[in-house]
Chain A
Amino acid sequence: MDELKILINKDINQVKNYFREFKENKKKMLPILFYILWFIFMLNSQSETNSYSINYFKNLSFAILSFLLIISITNVYFERTSYFNMADVNFLFTAPISPKTILLYSIFKTSWKQLLAALFMFIFLSPSLISSGILFPEILLGVVGYALFIFSLEPICFIASKLGKKYNLKTIIIILLLLFILPITIPMIIKKSIIKGIESNLMNFIPLIGWSRGIFMSMFKINSNLFIFIFLQLSFILIINLYILKTTSNYFEDMLSSTENKSKYIENKKRGKNKFQLKMNFNKNKSISIKHNYYGSKAFHFKNKLISYRNDFHYLFGIETLIFLILSIGAIIIKNIKFYDYSLITFFTYLTIIILYIYTLFSINTNGQEELDMPFFYLIPDNNIKKIIAVNQLSIERMILNSLVLFIIPSIVDIRNILAYFLMFIMFNSIYIVIKFSNILIRSIFRKETDFTLMLPLIKIFQLFLIAIPSLVGAIIGSLLNNIINFDLQIVIFISIFLTNISILLIQLVLTDLIISRIEI
Chain B
Amino acid sequence: MLKVTNLTKKYKDITAVDNISFQVNKGEIIGLLGPNGAGKSTTIKSIVGLLKVTSGTILINGKINDSIEAKKDFAYIPEFPKLYDNLSVWEHIEFIAKAYKIENYKDQALKYLEKYDMLNKKNKLASELSKGMQQKVSIICNLIIDPEIYFFDEPMIGLDPKAIKETKNIFIELKNKGKSVFISTHLLDSIEKICDKILIMKDGKIITKGSIEELKGSKEITLEDLFLEATDNG
Chain A residues with a Cβ under 8 A of chain B: 6, 9-10, 13-15, 17-18, 21, 85-87, 89-98, 250, 252-253, 256, 263, 450
Contact = CB atoms under 8 A, between A and B. Distances in A.
A93 B98 contact: no
A250 B52 contact: yes
A219 B219 CA distance: 85
Q: Which of B68, B83, B99 has the most C-beta atoms of chain A within 10 angstroms of its own C-beta?
A: B99
A21 B50 contact: no
B141 interface: yes
A85 B91 CA distance: 17
B66 interface: yes
Nearest to A96: B71
A252 B98 contact: no
A90 B86 CA distance: 16
Contacts of B84: 10, 14, 85, 87, 91
Nearest to A255: B50
A14 B141 contact: no
Given A10-B95, A250-B52, A253-B52, A94 B86 contact: no
Given A17-B88, A253-B50, A256-B51, A87 B98 contact: no
Interface stretch (B74-82, B168-176, B222-230): B74-82
A17 B78 CA distance: 25
A87 B83 contact: yes
B96 A252 contact: no
Contacts of B92: 91
B50 A85 contact: no
Interface of B: 45, 48-52, 66, 68-69, 71-72, 74-76, 78, 80-88, 91-92, 95-96, 98-101, 125-127, 138, 141
Q: Which of A85, A250, A252, A256 has the most C-beta atoms of chain B within 10 angstroms of its own C-beta?
A: A252
A94 B71 contact: yes
Nearest to A450: B127
Pick the 10 closest A-B CB pairs, nearest first: A86-B82, A14-B86, A96-B71, A95-B99, A17-B86, A87-B84, A6-B98, A96-B72, A94-B76, A96-B68
Contacts of A13: 86-87, 91, 95
B125 A17 contact: yes
A85 B72 CA distance: 22
A96 B99 contact: yes
Nearest to A17: B86
B96 to A, nearest CB: 7
A14 to B, nearest CB: 4
A93 B83 CA distance: 13
Contact of B49 (A14, A17, A94, A263): A94
Contacts of B51: 252-253, 256
Contact of B96 (A14, A85, A91): A91
A161 to B, nearest CB: 16
Contacts of B81: 90
B49 A89 contact: no
B125 A97 contact: no
Interface of chain A, main secondary structure: helix
A92 B99 contact: yes
27 contacts: A6-B95, A6-B98, A14-B87, A17-B88, A21-B125, A85-B84, A87-B82, A89-B50, A89-B82, A90-B78, A90-B82, A90-B138, A91-B99, A94-B50, A95-B71, A95-B96, A96-B99, A97-B68, A250-B52, A252-B49, A252-B50, A252-B51, A252-B66, A253-B51, A256-B50, A256-B51, A450-B127
A85 B82 contact: yes
A29 to B, nearest CB: 16
Nearest to B125: A17
Contacts of A14: 84-87
B125 A93 contact: no
A173 B186 CA distance: 41
Given A14-B86, A15-B86, A89-B82, 14 more contacts: A10-B95, A13-B87, A14-B85, A17-B125, A21-B125, A85-B82, A86-B82, A91-B141, A94-B76, A95-B99, A96-B68, A252-B51, A252-B52, A253-B52
A250 B99 contact: no
A6 B94 CA distance: 10
Contacts of A95: 71, 96, 99-100
Given A17-B87, A85-B82, A6 B99 contact: yes
Contacts of B52: 250, 252-253
A91 B95 contact: yes
A256 B86 CA distance: 21
Nearest to B97: A6
Nearest to B95: A10
Contacts of B83: 87, 90
A9 B82 CA distance: 19
B51 to A, nearest CB: 5
B141 A9 contact: no
B121 to A, nearest CB: 14
B133 to A, nearest CB: 15
A14 B94 CA distance: 13
A165 to B, nearest CB: 10
A232 B73 CA distance: 45
A275 B199 CA distance: 43
Q: Which of A9, A95, A256 has the most C-beta atoms of chain B within 10 angstroms of its own C-beta?
A: A95
A250 B86 CA distance: 28
Q: Which of B76, B78, B98 has the most C-beta atoms of chain A within 10 angstroms of its own C-beta?
A: B98
Contacts of A98: 68
A263 B82 contact: yes
Contacts of A89: 50, 78, 82
A496 B70 CA distance: 74
Nearest to A94: B76
Nearest to A13: B91
A93 B86 contact: no
